[in-house]
Structure 1
Amino acid sequence: MKLLLIPDKFKGSLTSEEVAKAFVAGIEKAGVKFTSHYFKASDGGDGFMNAVAKYRPCISVQVISQNPLGKTIQSYYLYNQESNSAFIELANASGMALLSVNELNPMLTSTYGTGLQIKDAIEKGVKNIYMGLGGSATNDGGIGIASALGFQLLDEKKEVLPAIGASLSQIKFISDKGVSDKIKSVNFYAINDVTNPLFGFDGAAFVYAAQKGATREMIEELDFGLKNLDAVVVDYFKGNNAAISGSGAAGGVAYGLKTFLGAEFYRGVDFVLNLSGVNSLLKKETFDFIITGEGKIDKQTLQGKLIKGVLDLGLRENIPVITICGKMDIQKEELKKLGVFDAYEIQDNSKDLDYNMKYAADLLTLKTAHFFSIFKK
């Protein structure tokens, strides 16, 4: 039996490498003869730079930046000399992981620190900047990044607004007088698999802001603010990007990159898998199953997370996909309708969350062994 392993991390519990090792241990436990290929993938979110570094020779460029609340931090991005390209992970300077639960508040957070990373790369002469989106603590529509690069967001009195979520509804004018001409010679790419528009009930605020600390009132205000930002942008740039699929990624950062920097959108899973060479492998070899998984499978998974990309790969190559997750917050039948061969969750419902996270590798091994035991000969 030949298996292709393309798991996501189990956030807060296992890295994708550890997930793959648990898969292998489970299949071995089942007594099945097999060979496997592991590919480290990413949907553009947390782990994007690790995935890139696995498949491209890069150096780490250290940058003094800011976390989502403006605190000075040491950050970094990756640089590939051959292509003169920088790879920047939004979560590295603007991520939820940089804040405590009590600090999460998308009205006050900003992507300004990520903008400082981009600015550093531009000043060093980089010609291609790939932005991995995801894991952000922000819902600022990308105005933090824009502000760090010299754009000014002005209120009705033409006074400069802080580049935070709470300012979105107050923006009346945009000024680009402080923007360097060097930006014009740089190609920008937004890497993510989310398909949400900028605003509305399927948009950035309503779908993702709650997990970033927003109350219902904040969500409604942020959604209104994103609509306002777009209205000002339409007047200023004479273009409308709000409805483009994926513009709502990372609290609207994808929209901001498209609007202020002319970024192209790349599907995250496809981007990383192309780097990895999996498509070349599939032209030479056939596989019986693709095994994937993540900590939680829910409706957001189907809106463009890594598993959705892996499922699309399986459908395209006619390889059945097995998904194994920590918790499945969606009906298995719904997944099967989308083409999943089978799906399992590993959690022990008699135990609490801490137990399930602590022993995730063991639970994953046991569940994998249980599934593959049917193939033992």
Structure 2
Amino acid sequence: MRFLIIPDKFKGSMTSEEVYRSFRTGVEQVLSDASFHFVKASDGGDGFLEAISMYKDCKRVAMKTLDPLGREISSYYLLDAKSKSAYIELANSSGMELLEPSERNASLTSTFGSGQQIADTIKKGAKKIYVGLGGSATNDGGIGIANALGFEFLDSNGNPLEPIGKNLSEVQRITQSYNYMEIKGIQFFTINDVKNPLFGKDGAAFVYAAQKGADAAMISELDKGLRNLSEVYVRQFGSDFSEVPGSGAAGGTGFGLKAFFKADFLSGITFILELSGIKEVLDTQKFDYIVTGEGKIDDQTLQGKLIQGVMELANSYNIPVLAVCGKLDVPLERLTSSGVQDVIEIGDPNKSLGYNMQNAKDLLQRRVYEYFKSLI
């Protein structure tokens, strides 16, 4: 039996490589002649640069940036000098994992640190800048990035506003400051598979801000702020990008990159799979299963994350999908109707979340073994 394995990480418990190794060990205990092909993938979120480094010969550029709350940290991006291309992972400077749970507050966080990285790539000669979105702690509409590259956001008195979520409602005018960075001739790309609009019930605040520390009142205010930012932009520049699928990604960073830097939106999983050369593999080799998975399969999984991209790839080659997860939080029928043959849920319902996360590798190996043993 031949397996093509394209998993996401199980956040907080397993990297995608560890998912692959545990799955493989479980299968080999039952099927000694099984063969495996692993693809390191990312939908543009955490792990984006790791995936890029597997398929591109890039230099790792370390630098000091600001974290989502404005504290100095060490971060990095990838630079391909030959093609003058830079790769930035938003989560490296603006990510939720950089904050303690008690520090998470979508009203106070900013993407400014990621903007510092973008500015550095431009100074080093980059002409194509790929920004992997995902895992952000922010809901600032991308104005942090824009501010780092020289845009200013002014209130009704003409005073510059700090580029954080709670100030979005105060923006009345957008200008370029004295340190505006010239971006003519530079192409920007967002790498992401989220399709949400900027604001509204399916927008950045209502769908994602709660996990970034926002309560119901804050979510409503953040949504109003994103709407205001869009209205000010339309009034000054005449274009409305708020409904573009993906503009709500990473707390509206998709919108900011589109509006201020004319970024093209690219599918994260499609982008990585093309770099990996997996279509050439599928054109020349046969597989019995494509295996994917993540820590929790829920409604967000079906809104354009890595698993959905893998499902679409599998459907195009008529290969059944086997998904693995810590917890399945949607009806199985929603997955099977989209081409998933089965789901292996590894969490022990009689144990705590902490136990399941700490023992995820062993649980996955055991459940996979039991699953394939039952098929014999």
1:84: which partner in 2?
84
What's the CA shift string for 1:315-351, capped at 9, x where partnerless?
1111110001000111111111122111121001111
Letter in 2 for 1:333: E
Q: For 1:179 and 1:289, locate their aligned partners in 2 and report how far apart those are by CA, in whole Å.
A: 53
Conservation of the 8 A alpha-carbon contact between 1:122 and 1:182: no
Structure 2 residue runs without a partner (length 5+): none
1:354: which partner in 2?
354
1:227: which partner in 2?
227
Q: For 2:281 and 2:83, locate their aligned partners in 1 and report how far apart those are by CA, in whole Å.
A: 23
1:94: which partner in 2?
94
2:271: which partner in 1?
271
What's the CA shift string for 1:239-284, capped at 9, x where partnerless?
1110011110000001100000000000000001111111111111
Conservation of the 8 A alpha-carbon contact between 2:290 and 2:314: yes
TM-score by length of 2: 0.98
Structure 1 position 180, deviation (Å)? 4.1
Identity among equivalent positions (%) equals 53
Q: For 2:301 and 2:181, locate their aligned partners in 1 and report how far apart those are by CA, in whole Å.
A: 39
1:144 and 2:144 matched: yes
Letter in 2 for 1:300: Q
Q: For 2:92 and 2:320, locate their aligned partners in 1 and report how far apart those are by CA, in whole Å.
A: 34
For the residue of structure 1 that corresponds to 2:144, the secondary structure is: helix
Structure 1 position 8, deviation (Å)? 0.5
Letter in 2 for 1:185: G
1:288: which partner in 2?
288
Conservation of the 8 A alpha-carbon contact between 2:149 and 2:181: no
Conservation of the 8 A alpha-carbon contact between 2:150 and 2:181: no
For the residue of structure 2 that corresponds to 1:338, the secondary structure is: coil
Conservation of the 8 A alpha-carbon contact between 2:9 and 2:295: yes
Letter in 2 for 1:336: T
Structure 1 position 358, deviation (Å)? 1.1
1:170: which partner in 2?
170
For the residue of structure 2 that corresponds to 1:3, the secondary structure is: strand
Structure 1 position 182, deviation (Å)? 3.1
Q: For 2:4 and 2:365, locate their aligned partners in 1 and report how far apart those are by CA, in whole Å.
A: 16
What's the CA shift string for 1:86-144, capped at 9, x where partnerless?
10000000001111111100100000000000001111111010000000000000000
For the residue of structure 2 that corresponds to 1:36, the secondary structure is: strand
1:212 and 2:186 matched: no
Q: For 1:58 and 1:234, locate their aligned partners in 2 and report how far apart those are by CA, in whole Å.
A: 38
1:298 and 2:298 matched: yes
Structure 1 position 33, deviation (Å)? 2.3
2:71: which partner in 1?
71
For the residue of structure 1 that corresponds to 2:65, the secondary structure is: strand
Structure 1 position 176, deviation (Å)? 2.0
Q: For 1:237 and 1:33, locate their aligned partners in 2 and report how far apart those are by CA, in whole Å.
A: 62
Q: For 1:243 and 1:260, locate their aligned partners in 2 and report how far apart those are by CA, in whole Å.
A: 16
Q: For 1:95 and 1:121, locate their aligned partners in 2 and report how far apart those are by CA, in whole Å.
A: 19
Structure 1 position 238, deviation (Å)? 1.1
Q: 1:14 to 1:114 in 2, by over 3 A?
A: same
2:14: which partner in 1?
14
For the residue of structure 2 that corresponds to 1:9, the secondary structure is: coil
Letter in 2 for 1:101: P
Structure 1 position 375, deviation (Å)? 4.8
Q: For 2:64 and 2:237, locate their aligned partners in 1 and report how far apart those are by CA, in whole Å.
A: 31
2:24: which partner in 1?
24
Structure 1 position 181, deviation (Å)? 5.7
What's the CA shift string for 1:273-296, capped at 9, x where partnerless?
111111111111121100111000
Q: Which residues in structure 2 correspond to 1:41-56 (within 5 Å)? A: 41-56=41-56
Q: For 2:30 and 2:9, locate their aligned partners in 1 and report how far apart those are by CA, in whole Å.
A: 23
2:196: which partner in 1?
196
Conservation of the 8 A alpha-carbon contact between 1:59 and 1:78: yes
Structure 1 position 64, deviation (Å)? 1.4
For the residue of structure 1 that corresponds to 2:157, the secondary structure is: coil
